[in-house]
Amino acid sequence: MDTSDELLQQASPGLARGLGLTRQKAVRLSPSFISWLQAGPMMLVFLAFFLIPLVFVVIVSFWDYNEYQLLPTFSGRGYTDTFEGCIAQLPDLCTIGKTYVKTLKLCFMVWAITLFIGFWVAYFLAFHIKSKTWQMGLSLLCTIPFWTSNVIRMIAWIPLLGRNGLVNSGLLKIGVIDQPVEWLLYSEFSVVLALVHLFTFFMVVPIFNSMVRIDKSLIEAAYDAGATGFQTLVNVIIPLAKPGIVIGSIFVITIVMGDFITIGVMGGQQIAAAGKIIETRLNALQFPAAAANAVILLAITFLIITMMSRIVDIRKEL
């Protein structure tokens, strides 16, 4: 079999089989083998760079450690240390409890706001912009926050939101306030602002993608049947855009759950983050404790995503 035939077979098994009938020499590959072949490279990458390291992380999380090395003996210390005081301090929350409540709260706020903004931006792009070029151009505009590095961004917020920043001096000048507003920077507000500013894009793209694939005749049918704009939105557009909404939500939630750099920089390092605990532990060379925290974070994130995919079966909807 020559290479072009092989390629053809991979690309379109049915067609290749047809060709195979005309050529005697052709080797028959079962469709399921071909699908494995197609998914294979990604699977290998996943196995080598995700699953195997993950297994190591889980193993190491059950090791013991001292100041300078890992001790490969079974120990639950990474976990018991992490949950230290969780029962003794009741009804107050322990460190890990507080950290996750804070992380989940930030995550929820960022998710809700990016979903709201992202949905309407995608709606605008999909239904109000007719030309493909403009749609492309405008969605590229959404990537602007990514053109600068985190370092630049963190410096750039100070002149805007800082005590002597643009917003404060503007408000002072027009007499709305007589003291600079402190909560603009190094607060939950600034963290949410920065995360929304960064990650709304991850909502826009999948929702936009779902929306452009909505058959326009469905909307016309809804209109003809006498549905108001709002009814069309709720009963036609939102249900059909659900896969995009869920995919966008998964992007945003997984990123925000693990983020500690933006939260650190915008929160003035005073706001706890699940990722930050891992970093602090790593820097203190306490790898098993860091691994245990990573496993906990992964489990919680996985739980959230499982719950979300319960609501919408992405595979079915795609």
What is the binding site for other proteins (CB under 8 A)? Answer: 49, 53, 67-69, 81, 84, 95, 98-99, 102, 149-151, 154-155, 158-159, 162-165, 182, 185-186, 198, 254-255, 258-259, 261-262, 264-265, 267-272, 275-277, 280-286, 289
Helix (H, G, I), strand (E, B) or coil at 65: strand
User: Looking at beta carbons only, is 37 or 45 nearer to other proteins?
Assistant: 45
- For other proteins, the closer of residues 9 and 114 by Cβ is 114
CA dist 82 and 67 (Å) reads 17
Cβ 157 to other proteins shortest distance, Å: 10
CB of 261 to other proteins, least distance (A): 5
CB contact at 8 A, 194 and 153: yes
CB of residue 190 to other proteins, shortest distance in Å: 10
Instruction: State the minimum distance, in angstroms, from the CB of residue 163 to other proteins.
Output: 6
Alpha-carbon gap, residue 118 to 272, rounded angstroms: 27
Beta bridge partner(s), residue 74: 63
Of 203, 201, 192, residue with least CA distance to 161: 192
Nearer to other proteins, 214 or 255 (CB): 255
Joined together, the tokens standing for residue 96 give 């890990």
Rounded least distance, CB 301 to other proteins, Å: 10
Residue of 259, 114, 100, 137 whose CA lies nearest to 193: 114
Contact 138, 165 (CB under 8 A): no
Q: Quick one: 18 or 268, whose CB is closer to other proteins?
A: 268
From the CB of 314, what's the least distance to other proteins, in Å? 19
Measured in degrees and rounded to the nearest 5, phi and psi for residue 86 equal: -65, -30
Pairing of strands 70-74, 63-65: antiparallel
CB of 154 to other proteins, least distance (A): 8
Measured from the CB of residue 96, what is the shortest distance to other proteins in angstroms?
Answer: 8
> Which residues lie closer than 8 Å to 123 by C-beta, 6 or more apart?
207, 211, 237
**In angstroms, how far is CA 272 from the centroid of its own chain?**
19
Pick the closer one to other proteins by CB: 154 or 240.
154
Select 219 or 277, whichever has its Cβ closest to other proteins: 277
Q: How far is the CB of 294 from other proteins (least distance, A)?
A: 9
Nearer to other proteins, 26 or 261 (CB): 261
Buried b (16+ CB within 10 A) or exposed e, 170-209: ebeeeeeeeeebeebbbbbbbbbbbbbbbbbbbbbbbbbb
DSSP 235-261: IIIHHHHHHHHHHHHHHHHHHHHH--H
**Residue 73: strand, helix, or coil:** strand
Measured from the CB atom, the residue of 102 and 122 that comes closer to other proteins is 102
By beta-carbon proximity to other proteins, the closer residue of 8 and 97 is 97
